[in-house]
Amino acid sequence: MPDSAVAPPSEDPPPGLRAWRTAGLAAAVFAIDPRGLGGVVLRAQVGPVRTRWTALLKALLPADLPVRRVPAGISDDRLIGGLDLTATLRSGKPVAEKGLLAEADGGVLVLAMAERLSPAAAARIALTLDSGEVAVERDGLAARLPARFGVVAEDEGLADEAPPVVLTERLGLFLDLERLSLRDLVELPLDAEKVAAARALLSRVEVGEGTLEALCGTAVALGIASLRAPLRALRAACALAALSGRTEVEDADVETAAALVLAPRATRVPMSAQPNEPEEETPPSESEPSPEEPRDDSDAGESSEPDLSDRVLEAAAAAISRGLLDKLKLAGQGPRGTQTAGTAGVAKLSLRRGRPIGAHAGRPRPGVRLNLVETLRAAAPWQRLRRPGTTGQTGARIAIRAEDFRVTRFKQRSETATIFAVDASGSTAFNRLAEAKGAVELLLADCYVRRDQVALLAFRGSTAELLLPPTRSLVRTKRALAALPGGGGTPLAAGIDAAAGLGIDLLRRGITPLLVFLTDGQANIARDGQPGRPQAREDAEAAARRLANQRLTALLIDTSARPNEKARSLAAVMEALYLPLPQADARKLDAAVRATLAG
C-alpha cells in the first residue's frame, strides 16, 4: 500500500468514506503528475463535497501553479488566443493575446460544466493535451505556444449528459463524488510537502517487468479498447510509488493504479469477479487470486510474476461497484457510446453562430456582427492619410471610419433531425411493418447524405416510446429499427403527441425537426390509454391539430394496403404531406422529404 492511512485499510469502512479516501488519493496522484495523468473527470454537483475536493487538490498543488477556468461556452478567441483588440487599437500595432490554453501552461485547466462543452472546444483541448502546445493561427497571428497542463473536467451532467469522449478518453482519473455526504469528508493525511517530495522523486521511479503486462492485460479483461488507459495507469502507478517515497513500483501501486484508472473505464466485468456479490468488503490487498483463470485471451504474466495480473484485475474489479458499470456506459464511457453527449451543444452553437459566409462592408445591426479584425484590416492602409500632420507611428490611436466597418454574415446551418414515428400496432405489424421498416431504411440513407440526425419512436399497446434519441449514428438507428417489436393496439394520439413533443424540444435547441409518421391512420386507443375507436379517433385528430398549430413540418406515409381515407384526412388535419406507401419507392420518398424540407 502506498500509504496505510490513505489506502483502504483491512477492516470494512463505509462506502462513502472509502470513496472519499479514493478521491483524496486521486487528488494526490494528479497533483504529483498532472500532465502524465492527463486529468480528472470529476463527477459531482456543485456543493460542499466538490468544493472540499477542489480545495484539497489546490492545497496539494504548488501555490504558484497557474489554474485557469474554462466556461462551457468558451469561444476560440479566449481558448486559443488571437488579436488583443483593445491593446491593438491603443498602441496602433497588432498585439497578440494569449488564450486560456497557453495561460494554463505548467498548471491546471479546469473545465466548468464539461458536459456542456462543445465537441469542437473539447477537440481543441484534447489535441493540446496530446502535443503540449497550442498552435495559434488566427487573426493574422501565427505562433506555437507551450501549453502543458492537466485537466479537471467538472461533470455535473445527468444520466444522458457527459463530457465529450474525445476529452475524457485522455483523462486518466475518473471520480464520482455524487453519493458522498458531508459526513464522509474526513481529514485525509495528505500534505503538500509530501506531494512535492513525490513530484521531485517521480522521474527516478523505475517500472519493473510485469507491470506493463499486468496493466495491459487488465485493460483487456475489463474491455477497455484504448491504449491510453494502460499508459495513464502506468503513470499513476509511478506517482503512487513516489508518494510512498519509493523509486520502484510495487505490486500494490499497480493494483491501486488499476483501481483508480482502469476500473472506472471498464465496459465489462471480468468473469472471476462478478460484482453482484457484495463487493465492498474486499479490499484490493486482501483479495486472493481466483482459482480459475479470469482471462482466456491472455498469455502474459507467466514470465516473471504469474499472479500480478490476476491481482491487479481483482483490484480493479473490486473497485467497480454495482450499478457503476451501467451508469458509465450511459455516460458514454464505453468504447462505442458517445452520440447523445454534446449534440445539444453543437446545436446551440450553430444557432448562435451558424456558418460564417465571409466578411462584407456594412453596418452592424441585430443579427449582423461587427468583425473587428477585418474592420481593422480595412482601416489599416489608410492610417497615414488619416493622420495629417503626424507622419509615421507616434503611438496614435487608429482612425476608423464608417466605411471601414466589416460585418460577418452567418448562414444559419440548417441542422435537421428527422423523427420517425412508426405505428407498430397489431394492424400494421401484421400487414406492413416490414415494409414500413424498409421505407424508414430508405429515408435513413438519404438522411446520411444530408448529414441529418435521426430519431425513432414507436407507438403500440397503450403508449409511445422513444426508441432512439436524435443521433447521427446510422448503425444505432438500424439496430433500433430491427429490434422494433410489433403488435397491440394503436395509441395514435400518444404517438402524435410524443413526436410533436420531441419536435418542439429540438426546435428549442435550434434544430429543425421533420416529423415522418408511418401509420395507417387507424386509431383504437385514446389518450387516456383506454380502448375505443371513436374517442381514439377524436384524440388523434386533436393531437394532429395541435401539431399543425405548432407549425411543425410533417410527412405522413400511409402504410395501409390501399390508400386509406382516414390516413389522408389525418394528414390534412396535421397539414402534413401525404404519401401512400404503395407508391413510396426510394426516389419518391427522397423527393417527398426534400420537398417537405424545402417548403
Please list every residue from 177 through 206 that binds another protein, using CB under 8 A: 203
Q: Cβ of residue 176: shortest distance to another protein, in angstroms?
A: 22
CB nearer to another protein: give 335 or 532.
Answer: 335
What are the grid coordinates assigned to 419, written together? 423523427
Contact 152, 40 (CB under 8 A): yes
CB nearer to another protein: give 446 or 538.
Answer: 446
Q: Cβ of residue 107: shortest distance to another protein, in angstroms?
A: 16
Backbone phi, psi, residue 513, to 5°:
-90, 145
* Alpha-carbon span 199 to 241, nearest angstrom: 11
CB nearer to another protein: give 78 or 566.
Answer: 78
* Alpha-carbon span 77 to 74, nearest angstrom: 8
Q: For the segment 135-174, give every residue that binds another protein (CB under 8 A).
A: 135-142, 144-146, 165-166, 169
Residue from 182, 445, 572, 595 binding another protein (CB under 8 A):
445
- Closest among 351, 359, 353 to 375, alpha carbons compared: 359
Residue from 347, 424, 444, 499 binding another protein (CB under 8 A):
444
C-alpha distances in angstroms, 69 versus 28, 148, 475? 20, 15, 37
CB nearer to another protein: give 32 or 536.
Answer: 32
Q: Mapping DSSP to helix (H, G, I), strand (E, B) and coil, where does residue 96 land?
A: strand
Q: Cβ of residue 200: shortest distance to another protein, in angstroms?
A: 16
CB nearer to another protein: give 358 or 534.
Answer: 358
Residues with Cβ within 8 Å of 12's Cβ and at least 6 positions away in sequence, in order, are 280, 281, 283
CB nearer to another protein: give 182 or 475.
Answer: 475
CA geometry: angle 214, 217, 222, nearest 5 deg: 120
C-alpha distances in angstroms, 528 versus 460, 493, 494, 538? 14, 10, 9, 12
Q: Cβ of residue 259: shortest distance to another protein, in angstroms?
A: 18
CB nearer to another protein: give 137 or 307.
Answer: 137
Q: For the segment 222-261, give every residue that binds another protein (CB under 8 A).
A: 225-231, 234
Contact 514, 596 (CB under 8 A): yes
* Alpha-carbon span 575 to 538, nearest angstrom: 17
Contact 6, 21 (CB under 8 A): yes
Name residue 175's beta-bridge partners: 42
Q: Cβ of residue 116: shortest distance to another protein, in angstroms?
A: 17
Residue 124 sits in the site that holds another protein (CB under 8 A): yes
Q: For the segment 8-47, give every residue that binds another protein (CB under 8 A).
A: none
* Among 269-277, 426-434, 437-445, 557-565, the segment contacting another protein (CB under 8 A): 437-445
* Among 8-16, 247-255, 333-341, 523-531, the segment contacting another protein (CB under 8 A): 333-341
Q: Cβ of residue 277: shortest distance to another protein, in angstroms?
A: 27
Q: Cβ of residue 333: shortest distance to another protein, in angstroms?
A: 12
CB nearer to another protein: give 51 or 203.
Answer: 203
| CA 50, chain centre distance (Å) | 21
Contact 421, 457 (CB under 8 A): yes
Contact 499, 548 (CB under 8 A): no
For the chain, give percent helix, strand, coil, nearest 5: 45, 20, 35
Residue in the block written with cell 438519404 = 446
* Alpha-carbon span 359 to 374, nearest angstrom: 7
CB nearer to another protein: give 407 or 536.
Answer: 407
- Mark residues 270-309: x for contact with another protein by CB under 8 A, - for none: ---------------------------xxxx---------
CB nearer to another protein: give 398 or 467.
Answer: 398
CB nearer to another protein: give 447 or 498.
Answer: 447
Angle formed by the axes of helices 192-201 and 15-32, to 10°?
Answer: 50
CB nearer to another protein: give 385 or 402.
Answer: 385
CA atoms in the 13 A half-sphere facing the CB of 40: 31
Name residue 135's beta-bridge partners: 144
Q: For the segment 484-543, give every residue that binds another protein (CB under 8 A).
A: none
* Among 124-132, 266-274, 419-427, 553-561, the segment contacting another protein (CB under 8 A): 124-132
CB nearer to another protein: give 55 or 399.
Answer: 399
Residue 330 sits in the site that holds another protein (CB under 8 A): no
Residue from 38, 39, 107, 119 binding another protein (CB under 8 A):
119
| Distinct helix (H) and strand (E) counts, the chain | 24, 18
Q: Cβ of residue 352: shortest distance to another protein, in angstroms?
A: 14
CA geometry: angle 590, 515, 442, nearest 5 deg: 30
Q: For the segment 344-403, give every residue that binds another protein (CB under 8 A).
A: 355-358, 373, 376-378, 380-385, 393, 398
- Bridge-based pairing of strands 355-361 and 406-411 is antiparallel
Number of residues that bind another protein (CB under 8 A): 86
Q: For the segment 451-490, give every residue that binds another protein (CB under 8 A).
A: 451, 472-475, 478
CB nearer to another protein: give 140 or 534.
Answer: 140
Q: For the segment 554-593, give every residue that binds another protein (CB under 8 A).
A: none
* Among 45-53, 192-200, 448-456, 538-546, the segment contacting another protein (CB under 8 A): 448-456
* Alpha-carbon span 309 to 9, nearest angstrom: 22
Residue from 448, 531, 572, 583 binding another protein (CB under 8 A):
448
- Mark residues 77-116: x for contact with another protein by CB under 8 A, - for none: --xx-xx----x---xxx----------------------
C-alpha distances in angstroms, 476 versus 178, 270, 340, 433, 590? 30, 26, 11, 19, 21
* Alpha-carbon span 166 to 126, nearest angstrom: 7
Contact 578, 568 (CB under 8 A): yes
- Mark residues 401-430: x for contact with another protein by CB under 8 A, - for none: ------------x-----------------
